[in-house]
Structure 1
Protein backbone atom coordinates (compact mmCIF):
# COMPACT_ATOMS: atom_id res chain seq x y z
CA UNK A 1 0.00 0.00 0.00
CA UNK A 2 2.86 2.41 0.83
CA UNK A 3 4.37 1.93 -2.62
CA UNK A 4 1.09 2.91 -4.31
CA UNK A 5 0.79 6.05 -2.17
CA UNK A 6 4.38 7.06 -2.98
CA UNK A 7 3.75 6.51 -6.70
CA UNK A 8 0.60 8.67 -6.61
CA UNK A 9 2.40 11.46 -4.71
CA UNK A 10 5.30 11.34 -7.20
CA UNK A 11 2.88 11.50 -10.16
CA UNK A 12 1.10 14.52 -8.66
CA UNK A 13 4.46 16.23 -8.00
CA UNK A 14 5.67 15.69 -11.57
CA UNK A 15 2.37 16.91 -13.00
CA UNK A 16 2.50 20.11 -10.97
CA UNK A 17 6.05 20.87 -12.14
CA UNK A 18 5.14 20.48 -15.79
CA UNK A 19 1.91 22.50 -15.56
CA UNK A 20 1.81 26.14 -16.55
CA UNK A 21 1.99 28.72 -13.81
CA UNK A 22 -1.61 29.81 -13.14
CA UNK A 23 -0.55 33.38 -12.24
CA UNK A 24 -0.52 34.33 -15.92
CA UNK A 25 3.12 35.41 -15.69
CA UNK A 26 5.01 34.01 -18.69
CA UNK A 27 8.49 32.55 -18.55
CA UNK A 28 11.16 35.26 -18.62
CA UNK A 29 14.90 35.81 -18.86
CA UNK A 30 16.78 38.41 -16.81
CA UNK A 31 20.29 39.35 -17.95
CA UNK A 32 23.00 41.27 -16.09
CA UNK A 33 25.67 43.70 -17.29
CA UNK A 34 28.25 42.90 -14.59
CA UNK A 35 30.21 39.89 -13.42
CA UNK A 36 28.60 37.54 -10.90
CA UNK A 37 25.07 38.63 -11.92
CA UNK A 38 25.52 42.24 -10.83
CA UNK A 39 25.01 45.67 -12.35
CA UNK A 40 22.25 46.72 -14.71
CA UNK A 41 19.55 44.23 -15.70
CA UNK A 42 17.25 43.64 -18.63
CA UNK A 43 14.24 41.30 -18.48
CA UNK A 44 12.67 39.63 -21.51
CA UNK A 45 9.06 38.51 -21.06
CA UNK A 46 7.79 38.46 -24.62
CA UNK A 47 7.18 35.42 -26.77
CA UNK A 48 9.32 34.88 -29.83
CA UNK A 49 12.88 35.86 -30.65
CA UNK A 50 14.63 38.68 -28.76
CA UNK A 51 18.28 39.75 -28.79
CA UNK A 52 19.89 39.99 -25.35
CA UNK A 53 21.04 43.39 -24.07
CA UNK A 54 23.56 42.14 -21.48
CA UNK A 55 25.73 39.00 -21.45
CA UNK A 56 27.48 38.79 -18.05
CA UNK A 57 24.80 36.58 -16.49
CA UNK A 58 21.37 35.16 -17.20
CA UNK A 59 18.53 33.78 -15.09
CA UNK A 60 15.60 31.99 -16.72
CA UNK A 61 12.34 31.85 -14.78
CA UNK A 62 10.35 28.87 -16.08
CA UNK A 63 6.58 29.40 -15.85
CA UNK A 64 5.42 26.86 -18.41
CA UNK A 65 6.92 28.19 -21.64
CA UNK A 66 10.18 26.60 -22.73
CA UNK A 67 12.83 28.69 -24.43
CA UNK A 68 15.87 28.32 -26.62
CA UNK A 69 19.01 30.41 -26.14
CA UNK A 70 21.22 31.02 -29.20
CA UNK A 71 24.87 31.94 -29.66
CA UNK A 72 24.01 34.46 -32.39
CA UNK A 73 21.66 37.41 -32.58
CA UNK A 74 18.32 36.94 -34.32
CA UNK A 75 18.03 33.40 -32.87
CA UNK A 76 20.81 32.12 -35.09
CA UNK A 77 23.76 29.96 -34.18
CA UNK A 78 24.03 27.06 -31.78
CA UNK A 79 20.80 26.47 -29.78
CA UNK A 80 20.42 25.48 -26.12
CA UNK A 81 16.92 24.60 -24.87
CA UNK A 82 15.80 25.73 -21.41
CA UNK A 83 12.86 24.04 -19.67
CA UNK A 84 13.42 24.78 -15.97
CA UNK A 85 14.55 27.60 -13.68
CA UNK A 86 18.26 28.17 -14.23
CA UNK A 87 20.89 30.82 -13.45
CA UNK A 88 24.33 31.25 -14.97
CA UNK A 89 26.52 34.10 -13.68
CA UNK A 90 29.02 34.42 -16.50
CA UNK A 91 29.13 34.98 -20.25
CA UNK A 92 28.26 31.63 -21.79
CA UNK A 93 27.94 33.07 -25.27
CA UNK A 94 24.16 33.45 -25.49
CA UNK A 95 23.13 36.43 -27.62
CA UNK A 96 19.41 35.85 -28.22
CA UNK A 97 16.44 33.88 -26.87
CA UNK A 98 13.23 32.50 -28.31
CA UNK A 99 10.48 32.03 -25.70
CA UNK A 100 7.97 29.48 -26.99
CA UNK A 101 4.43 30.66 -26.24
Structure 2
Protein backbone atom coordinates (compact mmCIF):
# COMPACT_ATOMS: atom_id res chain seq x y z
CA UNK A 1 0.00 0.00 0.00
CA UNK A 2 2.82 2.46 0.86
CA UNK A 3 4.39 2.01 -2.59
CA UNK A 4 1.03 2.61 -4.24
CA UNK A 5 0.62 5.85 -2.30
CA UNK A 6 4.11 6.89 -3.36
CA UNK A 7 3.45 6.07 -7.02
CA UNK A 8 0.21 8.06 -6.93
CA UNK A 9 2.10 10.95 -5.32
CA UNK A 10 4.61 10.85 -8.18
CA UNK A 11 1.81 10.81 -10.76
CA UNK A 12 0.19 13.79 -9.03
CA UNK A 13 3.57 15.54 -9.33
CA UNK A 14 3.50 14.88 -13.08
CA UNK A 15 -0.05 16.25 -13.17
CA UNK A 16 0.94 19.47 -11.42
CA UNK A 17 3.82 19.96 -13.85
CA UNK A 18 1.39 19.43 -16.75
CA UNK A 19 -1.02 22.00 -15.29
CA UNK A 20 1.83 24.47 -14.88
CA UNK A 21 2.83 23.96 -18.51
CA UNK A 22 -0.75 24.49 -19.68
CA UNK A 23 -1.11 27.59 -17.49
CA UNK A 24 2.01 29.03 -19.10
CA UNK A 25 0.45 28.58 -22.55
CA UNK A 26 -3.05 29.78 -21.59
CA UNK A 27 -4.12 33.38 -21.81
CA UNK A 28 -6.41 35.41 -19.60
CA UNK A 29 -8.89 33.76 -17.26
CA UNK A 30 -8.18 30.28 -18.66
CA UNK A 31 -4.78 30.34 -17.00
CA UNK A 32 -6.44 30.73 -13.60
CA UNK A 33 -8.12 27.34 -13.92
CA UNK A 34 -4.81 25.72 -14.76
CA UNK A 35 -3.14 27.40 -11.79
CA UNK A 36 -5.94 26.17 -9.52
CA UNK A 37 -5.52 22.64 -10.89
CA UNK A 38 -1.76 22.98 -10.32
CA UNK A 39 -2.35 23.89 -6.67
CA UNK A 40 -4.77 20.99 -6.19
CA UNK A 41 -2.42 18.45 -7.79
CA UNK A 42 0.53 19.80 -5.79
CA UNK A 43 -1.43 19.52 -2.54
CA UNK A 44 -2.49 15.97 -3.40
CA UNK A 45 1.07 15.01 -4.31
CA UNK A 46 2.51 16.31 -1.05
CA UNK A 47 -0.30 14.72 0.97
CA UNK A 48 0.27 11.29 -0.59
CA UNK A 49 4.04 11.62 -0.20
CA UNK A 50 3.54 12.47 3.47
CA UNK A 51 1.26 9.43 3.95
CA UNK A 52 3.84 7.13 2.37
CA UNK A 53 6.49 8.40 4.79
CA UNK A 54 4.68 6.65 7.62
CA UNK A 55 5.96 3.38 6.12
CA UNK A 56 8.99 4.20 3.95
CA UNK A 57 12.38 5.75 4.72
CA UNK A 58 12.48 9.46 3.89
CA UNK A 59 15.48 9.24 1.55
CA UNK A 60 14.04 6.39 -0.47
CA UNK A 61 10.54 7.85 -0.67
CA UNK A 62 11.76 11.29 -1.70
CA UNK A 63 14.12 9.90 -4.33
CA UNK A 64 11.44 7.66 -5.83
CA UNK A 65 8.86 10.48 -5.74
CA UNK A 66 11.17 12.91 -7.53
CA UNK A 67 12.27 10.18 -9.95
CA UNK A 68 8.69 9.40 -10.95
CA UNK A 69 8.02 13.10 -11.30
CA UNK A 70 11.16 13.75 -13.33
CA UNK A 71 10.68 10.86 -15.74
CA UNK A 72 6.94 11.42 -16.06
CA UNK A 73 7.36 15.14 -16.65
CA UNK A 74 10.11 14.59 -19.22
CA UNK A 75 7.96 12.10 -21.11
CA UNK A 76 4.96 14.42 -20.84
CA UNK A 77 7.06 17.27 -22.19
CA UNK A 78 8.00 15.16 -25.21
CA UNK A 79 4.45 13.94 -25.86
CA UNK A 80 2.35 16.97 -24.95
CA UNK A 81 4.64 19.97 -25.36
CA UNK A 82 6.96 18.96 -28.22
CA UNK A 83 10.18 18.76 -26.22
CA UNK A 84 12.96 17.09 -28.23
CA UNK A 85 13.73 13.40 -27.78
CA UNK A 86 17.46 12.92 -28.24
CA UNK A 87 19.70 9.92 -27.67
CA UNK A 88 21.42 11.38 -24.60
CA UNK A 89 18.09 12.40 -23.11
CA UNK A 90 16.69 8.91 -23.63
CA UNK A 91 19.84 7.40 -22.09
CA UNK A 92 19.57 9.50 -18.93
CA UNK A 93 15.83 8.93 -18.59
CA UNK A 94 16.49 5.19 -18.80
CA UNK A 95 19.25 5.54 -16.20
CA UNK A 96 16.88 7.44 -13.93
CA UNK A 97 14.17 4.78 -14.27
CA UNK A 98 16.74 2.08 -13.44
CA UNK A 99 17.83 4.05 -10.38
CA UNK A 100 14.27 4.43 -9.09
CA UNK A 101 13.60 0.71 -9.60
CA UNK A 102 16.88 -0.11 -7.89
CA UNK A 103 15.98 1.99 -4.85
CA UNK A 104 12.63 0.22 -4.61
CA UNK A 105 14.32 -3.18 -4.91
CA UNK A 106 16.73 -2.54 -2.03
CA UNK A 107 14.22 -0.83 0.29
CA UNK A 108 12.08 -2.60 2.84
More helix per residue: 2
Structure of greater relative contact order (alpha carbons < 8 Å, 6+ residues apart): 2
Largest Rg, 1 or 2: 1
